[in-house]
Chains A and B, each alone.
Chain A
Amino acid sequence: MFWRQLLRWAVLHVPLWLEPLVMATWSAIFLLWGAGRRGVMANLTAIKPGSTSFANFFRTYRVFWNFAWTIADMVRFKETRVVPDWEFTGIEHFESLKAREGGAIILTAHMGNYDLGANLFAETAGRQIVMVRAPETDPETRRFEESALERKAAALKVDFSTRASELAIDLLAAVQRGEIVAIQGDRVTPGITSLKATLFGKPMEVPAGPFALAMAARVPIYPLFVFRLGRRRYRLVTGAPFEVVRTRHRHEAFDRAVAEWTERLEAVVATAWFQWFAFEPFSAELNG
């Protein structure tokens, strides 16, 4: 909570020509956050096999540096409506997603500025978008976040992944109404049904929700990632959609869809590991 307020204060007071200096300093200070640092370093051992702890320590700094910029850009957008520059990769898929008459699912990851990406998408697409995210565990932080959500784009609705059963029904109804549902598919919140997957050769779990929803509503899944390219500059990468085809063998259908997703996630994380904001080991094998 304190950190969120400090960040907001900084965004509203720090001269922009000193901002890189402030970011560099605070990214270094956050290296003292042991759990987060160890989590990123553990993930890097899987992403970059054979890498040394020494090199991964500095790579972790790069992750923190990018994280600092992305959350600052998000707060700036919410507080002052300052929008960064955007470029698009896979714009044909992005356009097809925008033009779709029915609903769709955006499957994304904790990469780059997913919050800002969802806001921008909601504003540019003119479509109702429901973003599902894990809630803050600290009640005060959650209240602070909820007050910040009041300043989001009008067409964006944020829902939290804790109330699994009711949310599933709400999301199914939303997709069937033609809305777009955005879900992060690289982390499982406790209490949420998961599917087994493999990432960088390590066993992990991904949320079952998006795949079950795609199967039930018969809508495509669009992998979408938001990368930070530099100061106030982002790239929105939209992949070709894939479907979770309903067959007699549900598990096989899920396995195929999960493999498709993790293959794309792995390719993206391998090239942009410095923007994967997974501060806990993604696989139980990486613990300890």
Chain B
Amino acid sequence: MKAIHERADARWLPSRHNFAFFRLVAFVRLRNVRPQPERGLLLMVDRHQSQMENYSLSVWVMATVTCFIAGTLFGSRHVALAFALAVPTAVVGLQVAIVGTGLLVELFSAVTGVKVHDSVRASSAALMLLFLGTSAWVAATSPTWVRWAAWQVLALVALNAIAAMLLFLLRAPIARAERTYDEFGGSPSGK
């Protein structure tokens, strides 16, 4: 695992982010940030390192699923009551989906004999597809306010796709920007 030593601005390296939208935002920040030397600081270069990205996505998924459940299962009740019931249902539902997907990945591996080298990635892709599929279905079929919750998911996915295209076009300047940190790079145990 590569580490950047003593440069606080390296937290905006696109390679420390996963989704295209966050990688693009990071690149824009990186271009506008001054060098920030910080003695002793050690920043790891891993695409899942960003706190902001992972917390934002968790909150976003939880809020959207809560809306789906409130509108679909408890929609005929009072809105506040619907949300009060939807929050714990969403919490339990998401845990079941996460565990279920993880077990399915293991089952797939056991049945087909295909070794899944990165179960986190496989579960991640399956859950994202499930989330997007549900959103598309709700957007297409729901006549109530819930369809707006579904449409915002599809809009953000479209935004991420645009960001991915921009990242592709910007791949050369991004690579150059990342390379400027090579002189501070090394393993976690030393330069």
Contact = CB atoms under 8 A, between A and B. Distances in A.
Contacts of A82: 1, 44, 46
Contacts of A86: 40-42, 188
A16 B95 CA distance: 14
Given A22-B98, A123-B188, A17 B54 contact: yes
Contacts of B112: none
B93 to A, nearest CB: 11
B124 A15 contact: yes
A91 B102 CA distance: 42
Nearest to A14: B98
B160 interface: no
B143 interface: no
Interface stretch (B28-36, B56-64, B70-78, B174-182): B56-64
A13 B127 CA distance: 11
A15 B91 contact: no
B79 interface: no
A13 B41 contact: no
A9 B124 CA distance: 14
Contacts of A91: 39-40
A124 B188 contact: yes
Nearest to B43: A85
Given A13-B119, A16-B120, A21-B94, A83 B54 contact: no
Given A14-B98, A233-B51, A21 B42 contact: no
Contacts of A16: 18, 48, 54, 120, 124
A39 B11 CA distance: 38
Given A21-B62, A88-B39, A13 B105 contact: yes
Interface string A1-44: 00000000110111111111110010000000000000000000
A120 interface: yes
A84 B44 contact: yes
B3 interface: yes
Contacts of B105: 13
A87 B6 CA distance: 9
B44 A85 contact: yes
B103 to A, nearest CB: 8
Q: How large is the interface on A (under 10, 10 to 19, 20 to 34, 35 or more residues)?
A: 20 to 34
Contact of B53 (A10, A17, A87, A233): A17
Interface string A110-125: 0000000000100110
A115 to B, nearest CB: 16
Contact of A14 (B18, B39, B102): B102
Contact of A124 (B44, B58, B91, B190): B190
Contacts of B48: 16, 232
A230 interface: yes
B49 A87 contact: no
A231 interface: yes
Interface in B139-191: 188-190
A84 B44 CA distance: 7
B98 A18 contact: yes
Nearest to B8: A87
Contacts of B42: 85-87
A84 B42 CA distance: 9
Contacts of B53: 17
Given A13-B119, A15-B124, A86-B42, A20 B1 contact: no
A90 to B, nearest CB: 9
Contacts of A20: 54-55, 58-59
A19 B58 contact: yes
Nearest to A125: B189
B123 A14 contact: yes
A81 interface: yes
B123 A13 contact: yes
Contacts of B40: 86-88, 91, 94
Contact of A12 (B11, B44, B120): B120
Nearest to A232: B49
B54 A13 contact: no
A87 B8 CA distance: 10
Interface of A: 9-10, 12-22, 25, 81-88, 91, 94, 120, 123-124, 126, 230-233
State the 6 A-B residue pairs at the shortest beta-carbon distance, nearest first: A88-B40, A13-B102, A15-B124, A17-B57, A231-B51, A20-B58
